[in-house]
Amino acid sequence: MLEFHPVATAHPIIEIAPSILACNLAFLADEVRKVEAGGAAVIHVDVMDGHFVPNLTMGVPVLASLRKATRLPLDVHLMIERPEEFIGAFAQAGANRILVHQEATPHLDRALQLIREHGVEAGAVINPATPVAMLKEVLRDVDTVLVMSVNPGFGGQNFLAYSFEKIRELRDLRERHGYRYRIEVDGGVGTENIAALVAAGAGTFVAGTSIFQSADPAAAVRELLALARGALAQRAS
């Protein structure tokens, strides 16, 4: 498994995380190379079971194949029931980060511990209707908190504006308590809102449709990265 270290600062670097859910899976390796060329920092892999969310996507074999095609960290988002039963398989297949939904398991802390026991970064995810307070007891230990800014299941949805409030709340909690988690946002991310998301406190940006459905995915990544870095520099000044 490729070594990948958690961010060790309250102000994480900017990461563009293209979601392969929106790419042409018949040419997965080629699609990944395009976004690598544009400066993507991580590849986001959406795993859906048709139960927790109303869609079926990819599983362990696709992740194992993807691991052979890129050296970028793989950010595996489990949108599945009983995620504990699959953590080991995804870790073995090459995940660098595994993110589980607060809503998908009655034992979130146990699931996060299991992820760490496999030597993988552990992340917690909240759906749009779930308040940040539901993660209070695990924030000190997670590497990532992923805010869903659309209802999970399908790409191409419109960004839910109240997600900004959650991101600001997570930023304030991180700064107040000295936590080290990165804030990741997934859903409806594009050129029109990425600067505002950086200003709110997010550092990792999952984008699928806005990258892979563009004429030039590499250029789309570069544009998002430039806008985000510009906003980060402005926030720091």
Distances (CA, A) of 126 to 89, 152, 180, 213: 23, 10, 18, 26
Contact 179, 139 (CB under 8 A): yes
d(CA 64, CA 111): 21
Question: Is-catalytic flag, 75?
Answer: no
135-160: average pLDDT: 90
**Protein fold of 15-236:** TIM Barrel (3.20.20)
Reported confidence tier of residue 6, pLDDT bands at 50, 70, 90: very low
Q: Token pair of 59, please? A: 């599983």
167-194: average pLDDT: 97
pTM of the model: 0.92
User: What are the φ and ψ backbone dihedral angles of 123, each rounded to 5 degrees?
Assistant: -135, 150
Catalytic residue, from 30, 46, 109, 143: name it.
46
Reported confidence tier of residue 2, pLDDT bands at 50, 70, 90: very low
Handedness of CA 78, 200, 155, 6 (dihedral sign): negative
d(CA 234, CA 71): 31
Domain regions of the chain by residue span = 15-236
Contact 10, 173 (CB under 8 A): no
Question: Is-catalytic flag, 49?
Answer: no
Catalytic residue, from 30, 141, 186, 216: name it.
186
Share of the chain above pLDDT 90, in %: 89
Asked if the model's pLDDT at residue 4 lies above 90, the reply is no
For residue 1, the model assigns a pLDDT of: 36
Reported confidence tier of residue 13, pLDDT bands at 50, 70, 90: confident
